[in-house]
Structure 1
Amino acid sequence: MFYHHLLEKFAKQSHVKVGLIGGGNYGTAIVTQSLFNKYLTVNIVADQNIENAKNSYREANIPDEEICMCNTLSEAKAAIEQGKYVVTSSPDIIFQLDIDVVAEATGNPEAGAHHAKLALENMKHMVMITKETDSVIGPVLHEMFKQKGLVYTPVDGDQPAILMQLVEWARLIGLEIVSAGKSRDGEYIYDEREGTVTHPEDVKKGIPDPVVVKISQEDAKYLEFIPEGKGEEYLQKRRKILSELPQTAGFDYCEIVMIANATGLVPDVENLHQGSLRVNEVPIVYCSTENGGIFAGEGRIDIITCLRRKEEASMGGGVYLVVKSKNAYSQNILTSKGLIGNYDNSVAVICHPYHLCGVESSTSLMSAAMLGVDTGAREYKHSFDLVRRAVRDLPAGTLCGNDRDRNMSSFIAPAAVKSGTNPIPAHLLNGNKLKMDVKAGSVITYDMVQEPESSVLWDLRGKQEKFFLE
């Protein structure tokens, strides 16, 4: 990291004023950590639940007398001039304040699109934390902001930006990307003595208690280290053995779509392989069949659930690359100086075993305003979409939910224009109703969904299709 050199030598300004929309878990960490960064201040937090906004500052140990609730632009301006921290339930006023960069963390795709539009109209940089918006219109927003001399960027601290940067670094030094991906936050903890595998509780993701499966003696062999040439067999067996544990969710696929559109990496299959793997099994399985793995080719993207003993290191919901060098001497360096290889050391895995969410997001905020650069990839294209399939019969009038909608499963499909029988992007569905009965197993298409009368998200999606697909 050499941000200190970049900021000291090339910064366009000495300090960054931030407006945050969304005082949830992610946004709160941005606020709490900002107090230890001399380069930026989060001047205002907006949230429909005003207590969430206040709590963001309270978690940063800011006393209530320094927190000012404002409902109008004039009130907010006056409070900031007095050195107060502003909270509001009216996020639109942020865009008329003397703010450099807006951090969008609502988690609502329509709200994210609306705020991006306001940022463009009011010449504000945007750090897009709302992956749901980015998965639908991220490529066109990146282009529209660039055309105005503004920055639109994914956020340091979340897996997409972390992996984008890791891919760019590997390509910069001349490594070949065999595969890449993210590790799910939830992990499978194997207790050989008890004969169990446990997924820890995660209340925020709807898992209030640990989920445990008992492992039979017959099945236990498939939780041992994967033998050479047995990757596909062991993945299939583990998938069956561990099927009662929480699995890959829509938000995981959402992030994979973002990464694929920004890096040119492609899914091997539409549902991804979703391997339950130890870190040192990743290079054995997640490489091409030519190198003893399961992929049909190279440049693939996927997801793992980290399988480990309790005492072993966690992947921390981090990211990984499987790489190789075209030069034999360089390849030997990779596998003899710390990287874990496959059985013949023809490929090796690089792990980034953490993502620190809002604690490390300041680098994206500073880079946007002070350096005029994003912290994502070199180029964004519209190559893939996150789409949905009905898992049960759904009657007309069914309200479509978000990534946790249990009526639907997610998968990744090639990008397609708006047309009756084409799959509709998952986050265009949110809050809209089905206008016909949909049979279980059917892909949700445009002609099945009631289009909203007015939607910034849908409008921007149309612009993206014209720019990239027509």
Structure 2
Amino acid sequence: MSLYAKLVECERRNRPIRVGLIGAGKFGSMFLAQIPNTPGMDLVGIADFNPANAVTNLKRIGWKPEAYAATSFEDALKNRNTFITDSWEDLVKRPEIDVIVECTGNPVAAVEHCLESFKYGKHIVNVTVEADAFCGALLHQRAKENGVQYSLAFGDQPALIVDWVDWARGCGFPVVAAGRGHKWLPRFSESTPETVWNDWGLTAEQAEIGGLNPKMFNSFLDGSKPAIESTAVANSCDLQSPENGLEFFPSSMDDLPNVMRPKSDGGMLESKGVVEVASCLQRDGTPIDHDIRNGVWVVIEGDTEYIRRCFQEYGVRTDDSGKYCAIYRRWHLIGLEVGISVASVALRNEPTGTASFFNADVVATAKRDLQAGEMLDGEGGYTVYGNIQPAKKSVAARCLPLGLAHNLKLIKPVAKGQSVTWNDVEADTTLKAYKLRQEMENLFFGAK
């Protein structure tokens, strides 16, 4: 039975999937916009540290006031409307709730939200992929221990890439490379929240009208978010990180098979079975026609003469050898699609992507020369950006994961372009996120 048919059946039986949302920002608002159109799914509660902000966003997306007028969780359950609270703890403790959507964008907080939700028997759809990038495999394990599912969020690019990889392997195709598109020039790694909008392609006024967070969008532009999302894919799909980080090779959709193939076959990749990102700009800044900036792709191999002949017979666009082809989706709809993950974990007991490996890692890297005494401000900020590395390499060098590079004081200077290490900062070892990360390093690599 399809997910939609299952949702309709939930509605018919008057037993909807009961959902709690932590964080009602931009991504959360997009999910909220689809709830009224989705049968068999009720949003019981929203937890936001600023409830007034949640109300503002509900008004912005067109919810009627009576839809979020519940005065308690009991009222929300009885009348199938939504209760807004500032207590995420109260939300995850409600026994009636089936799925928690973690949507704060704060990786340290997200780890705590996930762990507590597992303890109370809740599936988690984790939109905060920054947390997945530095401890996803342990979150997956904790979910299993508690008999629930931990999932990436469909609509966000990592889960969509995972879906393409699963499709390819399910068809019997070797996966050569998988990834997303991006707008990239090397200088963007130095971008800050003050400079982001012009390079992104919006005015400050447009960003303000849309309620867009400059630090969050800068985490995309400066390469941090592509590194984070590529790491999530590598650790979900057992793919590898490029040895020295993402190259952001310029490529159109049609050129993907030629570009994203091994160097030994005329392409740009070090090897097969890797994650990578395609830029929509040539290195001189010239836009590429038919770009894949907002999409996802997987390059597969026709590894027999017969399969390559089938590609030709059915008009499949391949590389110039006829051996490789790319399957892609040009657009993703972000939070508008996350209901697929909610339905999948609740009705099929299946995640839409979950970390089972620790192949890749995202390392905090200095945007400029940093001095002892400065405070790191995490992804999208003024001090560091994220660079993907093989996890074995980053753990051996004691590199600081980007997701934990928030509000940490430097005790040593770090030169521009260099990885920040645990030796360079005053670490808060009391954080659950820190402890989980250390446990994961020890589990996979015997690190102490």
Fold in common (TM above 0.5): yes
What is the CA–CA distance in structure 2 between the aligned matches of 1:416 and 1:269, rounded to whole Å?
Answer: 11
The residue aligned with 2:161 is: 163
What is the CA–CA distance in structure 2 between the aligned matches of 1:88 and 1:137, rounded to whole Å?
Answer: 28
The residue aligned with 1:428 is: 404
Superposed counterparts of 1:18-167, under 5 Å: 18-68=19-69, 75-97=72-94, 98-167=96-165
SS at match of 1:208: helix
Q: Is the CA contact 1:339–1:350 (under 8 Å) kept in the aligned structure 2?
A: no
SS at match of 1:413: strand
The residue aligned with 2:228 is: 254
Choose from 327, 330, 341 the match for 1:350.
327
SS at match of 2:436: helix
Number of residue-to-residue matches in the alignment:
419
What is the CA–CA distance in structure 2 between the aligned matches of 1:387 and 1:263, rounded to whole Å?
Answer: 20
Q: Which moved more, 1:42-51 or 1:98-107?
A: 42-51
SS at match of 2:121: coil
Q: CA deviation at 1:204?
A: 9.2
Q: CA deviation at 1:28?
A: 0.6
Q: Is the CA contact 1:179–1:321 (under 8 Å) kept in the aligned structure 2?
A: yes
Structure 1, unaligned runs of 5 or more: 189-198, 213-245
Structure 2, unaligned runs of 5 or more: 202-219
Superposed counterparts of 1:206-355, under 5 Å: 207-209=196-198, 248-307=222-281, 313=290, 315=292, 317-355=294-332
The residue aligned with 2:421 is: 445
The residue aligned with 1:469 is: 445
Q: Is the CA contact 1:422–1:445 (under 8 Å) kept in the aligned structure 2?
A: yes
Q: Is the CA contact 1:183–1:306 (under 8 Å) kept in the aligned structure 2?
A: yes
Q: CA deviation at 1:415?
A: 2.0
Q: Is the CA contact 1:17–1:43 (under 8 Å) kept in the aligned structure 2?
A: yes
Q: Is the CA contact 2:157–2:229 (under 8 Å) kept in the aligned structure 1?
A: yes
Q: CA deviation at 1:269?
A: 3.5
Q: Aligned partner of 2:123: which letter?
A: H
Q: CA deviation at 1:13?
A: 9.7
Q: Aligned partner of 1:465: which letter?
A: E
What is the CA–CA distance in structure 2 between the aligned matches of 1:9 and 1:81, rounded to whole Å?
Answer: 20
Q: CA deviation at 1:123?
A: 0.9
Q: CA deviation at 1:92?
A: 1.6
What is the CA–CA distance in structure 2 between the aligned matches of 1:65 and 1:296, rounded to whole Å?
Answer: 57
Q: Is the CA contact 1:187–1:305 (under 8 Å) kept in the aligned structure 2?
A: yes
Superposed counterparts of 1:403-418, under 5 Å: 403-416=379-392
What is the CA–CA distance in structure 2 between the aligned matches of 1:420 and 1:322, rounded to whole Å?
Answer: 31
Greater Rg, structure 1 or structure 2?
1
Q: Is the CA contact 2:7–2:39 (under 8 Å) kept in the aligned structure 1?
A: no
SS at match of 1:262: helix
Q: Is the CA contact 2:133–2:361 (under 8 Å) kept in the aligned structure 1?
A: yes
Q: TM-score, normalised by structure 1?
A: 0.81
Q: CA deviation at 1:391?
A: 3.5
Residue 369 of structure 1 pairs with residue 369 of structure 2:
no
Among all aligned residue pairs of Structure 1 and Structure 2, give the percentage whose two residues are the same amino acid. Answer: 25
User: What CA deviation, in whole Å up to 9, does each residue of 1:315-362 have, x standing for no partner?
Assistant: 351111111122212222234435321112121111111111111111
Q: Is the CA contact 2:44–2:73 (under 8 Å) kept in the aligned structure 1?
A: no
Choose from 356, 370, 374 the match for 1:398.
374
Q: CA deviation at 1:80?
A: 3.9
What is the CA–CA distance in structure 1 between the aligned matches of 2:63 and 2:431, rounded to whole Å?
Answer: 37
Q: Aligned partner of 2:136: which letter?
A: G
SS at match of 1:400: strand
Distance of aligned partners of 1:307 and 1:389 in 2 relative to their CA distance in 1, 3 Å threshold: closer
Q: Aligned partner of 1:337: which letter?
A: Y
Q: Is the CA contact 1:250–1:409 (under 8 Å) kept in the aligned structure 2?
A: yes
User: What CA deviation, in whole Å up to 9, does each residue of 1:383-415 have, x standing for no partner?
Assistant: 221002223322222111122133224322222
SS at match of 2:377: coil
User: What CA deviation, in whole Å up to 9, does each residue of 1:136-169 have, x standing for no partner?
Assistant: 1111111110122100000110111111111011
What is the CA–CA distance in structure 1 between the aligned matches of 2:237 and 2:114, rounded to whole Å?
Answer: 22
What is the CA–CA distance in structure 1 between the aligned matches of 2:65 and 2:291, rounded to whole Å?
Answer: 38
Q: Is the CA contact 1:18–1:101 (under 8 Å) kept in the aligned structure 2?
A: yes
What is the CA–CA distance in structure 2 between the aligned matches of 1:464 and 1:39, rounded to whole Å?
Answer: 37
What is the CA–CA distance in structure 2 between the aligned matches of 1:439 and 1:296, rounded to whole Å?
Answer: 27
Q: CA deviation at 1:128?
A: 0.3
What is the CA–CA distance in structure 2 between the aligned matches of 1:205 and 1:336, rounded to whole Å?
Answer: 52
Q: CA RMSD in A?
A: 3.1
